[in-house]
Amino acid sequence: MKINPNEEFYSLPFYVDKRVLIPRNDTEILVDKALKNILESDLLIDIWTWSWAIAIAINKNISLKETFWLDISKEALEVAKINLEINNLSNKIKLVNSDLLEVFLENKIKLNNKDIIFTANLPYIKNWDFQNMDKEVLDLEPHIALFGWEKTWFEMYEKLIWQIIKLTEKSNLNKVILFIEIWFDQYDYSNQYLSNLWLKFEYFKDLNNIYRVIKVIF
- From residue 19, alpha-carbon distances to 69, 80, 105, 176, 187 in Å are 16, 10, 27, 30, 29
Please report the pLDDT score of residue 175 as a whole number: 94
Please tell me the distance from the alpha carbon of residue 42 to that of residue 64, in angstroms, as a whole number: 7
Please write the tens of the pLDDT for every residue from 71-115: 988 988 999 999 999 999 999 999 999 999 999 999 999 898 889
60 has pLDDT over 80:
yes
Please tell me the distance from the alpha carbon of residue 158 to that of residue 81, in angstroms, as a whole number: 29
Q: Please name the amino acid found at residue 195.
A: S
Please write the tens of the pLDDT for every residue from 121-160: 987 555 555 455 454 444 444 445 444 556 667 888 999 9
C-alpha closest to that of 120 among 174, 182, 169, 175: 182
Confidence bin at 118 (pLDDT 50/70/90): very high
CA 51 to centroid of chain Cα atoms: 8
Q: Please name the amino acid found at residue 171.
A: S
Backbone angles phi, psi at 94, to 5 degrees: -95, 120
DSSP states of 95-135: EEE-STTHHHHTTSS--TT--EEEEE----EETT-GGGS-H
Please report the pLDDT score of residue 104 as a whole number: 95
Please write the tens of the pLDDT for every residue from 188-206: 999 999 999 999 999 999 9
* Percent residues over pLDDT 90 in the chain: 64
Please tell me the distance from the alpha carbon of residue 8 to that of residue 22, in angstroms, as a whole number: 9
Where exactly are the structural domains of the chain? 8-14+23-217
Please report the pLDDT score of residue 31 as a whole number: 97
For domain 8-14+23-217, the question of CATH label 3.30.505.10 is answered with no
Please report the pLDDT score of residue 101 as a whole number: 96
- State the pairing for strand pair 200-205/125-126: unpaired
Q: Which residue has the higher pLDDT, 186 or 14?
A: 14
Please write the tens of the pLDDT for every residue from 156-190: 899 999 999 999 988 889 999 999 999 888 899 99
